[in-house]
Amino acid sequence: METFFQSNRYLHITAGFIGFFVAPVALALRKGGEAHRLWGRVFFWAMAVAGTTALAGAQHIHSLFLLLTAVFSLYMAAFGYRSIFLKQLAWDARVAPFDWAVAGGGLVVFLGTVAYAFASGNIPVGVFGALGAMTAARQLRGYANAGHWAKNQWLLNHISGFMASYIAAVSAFSVTSLRFIPFPYNFLWPTALGLPVIWWWQRRVRAQRVATAPGFDLSAAPAPALRK
């Protein structure tokens, strides 16, 4: 069993290392281009592997912080990736039961996380829980308003999900490895640096002129998106 956890640890480190360096590359490349889509997929799967292995590792070392951070990172990566396939919700009100179930389950989990954080006084867990709950609640509200989305809402979701997943992964690395940074700064600095970047990209996307016809191709738009 110890061999399994050792292999899991190496796989987690490798996937996390790939994700840390691939995310800035995907963000810097021409949005919608082949290279951007390729490295965006690499980032998503790196985060999926890193998050999954973190779930197993957290059980082994009995780290609730690592466990909940992995859940948050996985959820946000899935949210960002899934948004690519929900462009049609700008004109189509049909939301798949799968999407309702994921957002609803996420809201329950994150609200439980917030409740635990209040009871235990765990600030990092509470921050991630609150951000996750707000994201899930916005998803549910958005699904209820399907058919009336802005044409680039999927792109805003894509940016928020992928970058929040990256911030969570960096936060987990900082807390577990950068021990020279005192608590809670070791947890807070990735969020403090990352949130302004998310807001900047979202403002840039909202300022774009987007065609209103269904199926409009944003491959040439200067924003960090993957295309289906």
Contacts of residue 33, defined as CB under 8 A and 6 or more positions apart, other chains included, come to: 219
Q: What is the pLDDT of residue 45?
A: 94
For the stretch 199-223, pLDDT in tens is: 888 888 888 754 433 433 333 333 3
Q: What is the pLDDT of residue 224?
A: 37
For the stretch 4-48, pLDDT in tens is: 888 888 898 899 889 888 988 888 877 778 888 889 999 999 999
Mean pLDDT over 170-189 rounds to 86
Contacts of residue 121, defined as CB under 8 A and 6 or more positions apart, other chains included, come to: none
Is residue 65 a contact partner of residue 124, using CB atoms and an 8 Å limit?
yes
Angle at alpha carbon of residue 26, lines to 110 and 153, rounded to 5°: 55
Element containing residue 145 per DSSP (H, E) = none
Question: Domain segments of the chain: what residues?
Answer: 65-206
Q: Which of 136, 141, 70 is nearest to 108 (CA)?
A: 136
Structure-block tokens of residue 216: 């409009």
Q: What is the pLDDT of residue 60?
A: 67
pLDDT above 90 covers a percentage of the chain that reads 38
> Whole-angstrom Cα distance, residue 117 to residue 129?
8
Whether pLDDT at 134 is above 90: yes
Q: Which of 85, 86, 58, 198 is nearest to 142 (CA)?
A: 86
DSSP letter at 216 equals -
> Whole-angstrom Cα distance, residue 128 to residue 135?
11
For residues 214 and 189, the model is more confident at 189
- The overall longest dimension of the chain from CA atoms, in Å, is 56
> Whole-angstrom Cα distance, residue 127 to residue 113?
9
- The DSSP annotation for 9-66 comes to HHHHHHHHHHHHHHHHHHHHSPTTSHHHHHHHHHHHHHHHHHHHHHHHHHHHHT-HHH
Q: What is the pLDDT of residue 69?
A: 84
Q: What is the pLDDT of residue 89?
A: 93
Q: What is the pLDDT of residue 1?
A: 67
> What does pTM read for this prediction?
0.82
Residue type, 30: R
